[in-house]
Structure 1
Amino acid sequence: MEKMIPHRLSILGHPQRLAVFRLLMRRYPDRVPATELAQALGLKPNTLSTYVSALLQAGLVTQERVGTSLRYAVHMDATRETIDYLLMDCCRGRPDICSPNLHPSPIAETVMRNPTYNVLFICTGNSARSIFAETILRDMAGDRFQAFSAGTKPRSELNPFAIEVLEQKGHDVSLLRSKHISEFQGGDAPDFDFVFTVCNGAANEECPSWQGQPVTAHWGLPDPVKVEGSDAQKSLAFQQTYGALRNRLSGFANLPIASLDRMSLQNAVDDLGQLNEEGSAI
């Protein structure tokens, strides 16, 4: 293992290889198609293949073939092994030197002051999926959660099919609007306890790190806005997206957050991100 650490660090020392690795970390535990990786990072397929091959040889990522598509994911055991080695060897196991958890997380502080958690849902357009999530959580468990949503490239108006579904489900849509993520990055923005991306496009983008180390997860779902066909087919796609998010958020709202350690909580929200409309793993 010790012989592999310098090799892994050398591989990650290359900016573009590091960019591939970081994107896969943001998408964990998803397996990301090579075509999507190349598009998100602006790389030619053969260039991406070179970078991924180096990461594979270092044991930092895994590869899986699905039909004609190659998909990649972070090898989390190898990643933890590398980080643990740095902490134990370079930092001599001293938390006062290297621990990333010197300061209380917003979740710990929230439990101490009041049991209301701030949750942000991010998508690209902030016109459907993230709006669904914000509205569902607000109406499902508004006594425990303050829900917000934003887009990295928000649309000027909400999708009419999304609004129709929300109204059919009995939600108040009068105050909903598309918002840019920058609204939640200033000094007067809420301190978030949880940040979820609900579309692959937003997860693939390079976003600033959130102050206070909120728990983050990727709950990617297909974009119902892109569904073609009749109005009935489009409406069905929005209904399915709403159902999948409601399933995930029902599980999230019922988590015993205050009694879970951070790793258990992270694993729980990662698992919820794999549920579909029927409550089965994707």
Structure 2
Amino acid sequence: MELNRAAHAFATLGHPGRLTVFRLLMRFAPKGVRPTEIAEALDLKQNTLSHHLADLTASGLVSVTRHGRSLYYAVDLDATEGLIGYLALDVGRGRPDLISPLFPEQKDPAMRDTDFDVLFICSGNSARSIFAEALLRDLGKGRFQAFSAGTRPGTELNPFALDVLRRNGHDVKGLRSKHISDFQKPDSIVMDFVFTVCDTAAAEECPPWPGQPITGHWGLPDPVKATGTDAEKALVFAQTYAALRRRIAAFVELPFESLSRLSLQARVDAIGADTEAKA
């Protein structure tokens, strides 16, 4: 990355408000986010957010696309990679004493092929993340240990979700609603993958996970918000289950033993993008 462009990008991120917006967009990457959703998640006024987004876009770190009447802002991953590379390799001269401590659990050139620990997060841990936990447990062929959690305390499993799981042959004994803090204790399992399966969970401010797990945002609409008759609500839950089943079925078939972290991250992103379009 050229010096002046890097200086512009660093100066842009030097403002706390712009850095906060950029950090939120990174949690959704590579997908874009509408300004109304950003403003709601960060409790920002629209005019303040507009200035931050304009500056981030001008720096080249963020791109904007239009879909219908909505604008979507997304991190430009190539520009961000260039900026991080400039800081690590040009400014830092690639010193191993600076770079190596950042990746103590890095698994390049290939991920191990057994015993992956995977956490699915949503807001309530009552439906979507519970679906994902049960699906990975049963489709994972013994290679995965699946967990789920919510960002809202005190929730309970949704009866429509439990009914969908039973009808699809999943054992629901042992499933329970859990808070994300249960997995953030000093002695907690170090996750290999962390997925958010709803937009509100991706917007939550969570500390970095130990071990640098591969992360993915596989957001789906909340079936708990479905309205209508019980039959109509049950249909929405079944559709949500089917969308997650497609994603997880594709995920468990990945050739983990031959993929680098970079390639695996790209596959995880692609699964969320491709199956969302079909959901």
1:81 matched to which residue of 2? Answer: 82
Is contact 2:121-2:129 (8 Å) kept? Answer: yes
Map 1:56-67 to 2 at 5 A.
56-67=57-68
2:147 matched to which residue of 1? Answer: 148
User: Structure 2: how far apart are the matches of 1:160 and 1:14?
Assistant: 46
Secondary structure of the equivalent of 1:191?
A: coil
User: Structure 1: how far apart are the matches of 2:177 and 2:101?
Assistant: 34
Say if 1:181 and 1:135 are closer, same or farther in 2 by CA, change over 3 A: same
Secondary structure of the equivalent of 1:53?
A: helix
User: C-alpha deviations, 1:107-150, integer Å up to 9, x for none?
Assistant: 99983xx8211000001100000000000010112510000000
**Are 2:263 and 1:264 aligned?**
yes
User: Structure 2: how far apart are the matches of 1:47 and 1:14?
Assistant: 12
Say if 1:70 and 1:140 are closer, same or farther in 2 by CA, change over 3 A: same
Percent identity of equivalent pairs: 56
1:165 matched to which residue of 2? Answer: 164
2:31 matched to which residue of 1? Answer: 30
Amino acid at match of 1:46: N
Amino acid at match of 1:131: I
- Structure 1: give runs of 5+ residues left out of the alignment: none
Say if 1:172 and 1:12 are closer, same or farther in 2 by CA, change over 3 A: same
User: Structure 2: how far apart are the matches of 1:276 and 1:27?
Assistant: 16
User: Structure 1: how far apart are the matches of 2:111 and 2:78?
Assistant: 31
User: Structure 1: how far apart are the matches of 2:49 and 2:149?
Assistant: 30
User: Structure 1: how far apart are the matches of 2:106 and 2:85?
Assistant: 21
Shift of 1:78: 1.0
Map 1:39-50 to 2 at 5 A.
39-50=40-51
Task: With the length of structure 1 as denominator, give the TM-score of the two structures.
Answer: 0.93
User: C-alpha deviations, 1:177-223, integer Å up to 9, x for none?
Assistant: 10001111112211111110101101001101110111111111111
Is contact 1:106-1:192 (8 Å) kept? Answer: no
User: Structure 2: how far apart are the matches of 1:210 and 1:226?
Assistant: 30
Is contact 1:150-1:179 (8 Å) kept? Answer: yes
Work out the number of aligned pairs and report it. 278
2:121 matched to which residue of 1? Answer: 122
Shift of 1:99: 4.2
Task: With the length of structure 2 as denominator, give the TM-score of the two structures.
Answer: 0.94
Say if 1:244 and 1:190 are closer, same or farther in 2 by CA, change over 3 A: same
User: Structure 1: how far apart are the matches of 2:102 and 2:155?
Assistant: 39
2:186 matched to which residue of 1? Answer: 187
User: Structure 2: how far apart are the matches of 1:276 and 1:140?
Assistant: 17
User: Structure 2: how far apart are the matches of 1:221 and 1:155?
Assistant: 22
Say if 1:102 and 1:147 are closer, same or farther in 2 by CA, change over 3 A: closer
Say if 1:155 and 1:236 are closer, same or farther in 2 by CA, change over 3 A: farther
Is contact 1:96-1:102 (8 Å) kept? Answer: no
Is contact 1:106-1:214 (8 Å) kept? Answer: no
Is contact 2:103-2:211 (8 Å) kept? Answer: no
User: C-alpha deviations, 1:200-257, integer Å up to 9, x for none?
Assistant: 1010011011101111111111111111112122111111110111111111111111
1:242 matched to which residue of 2? Answer: 241
Secondary structure of the equivalent of 1:65?
A: strand
Shift of 1:155: 4.5
Shift of 1:175: 1.1
Secondary structure of the equivalent of 1:273?
A: helix
User: Which segment drifts farther, 1-10 or 127-136?
Assistant: 1-10
TM superposition outliers: structure 1 runs of 4+ over 6 Å: 106-110
1:223 matched to which residue of 2? Answer: 222
User: Structure 2: how far apart are the matches of 1:77 and 1:100?
Assistant: 23
RMSD of aligned alpha carbons: 1.9
1:68 matched to which residue of 2? Answer: 69
Secondary structure of the equivalent of 1:150?
A: strand
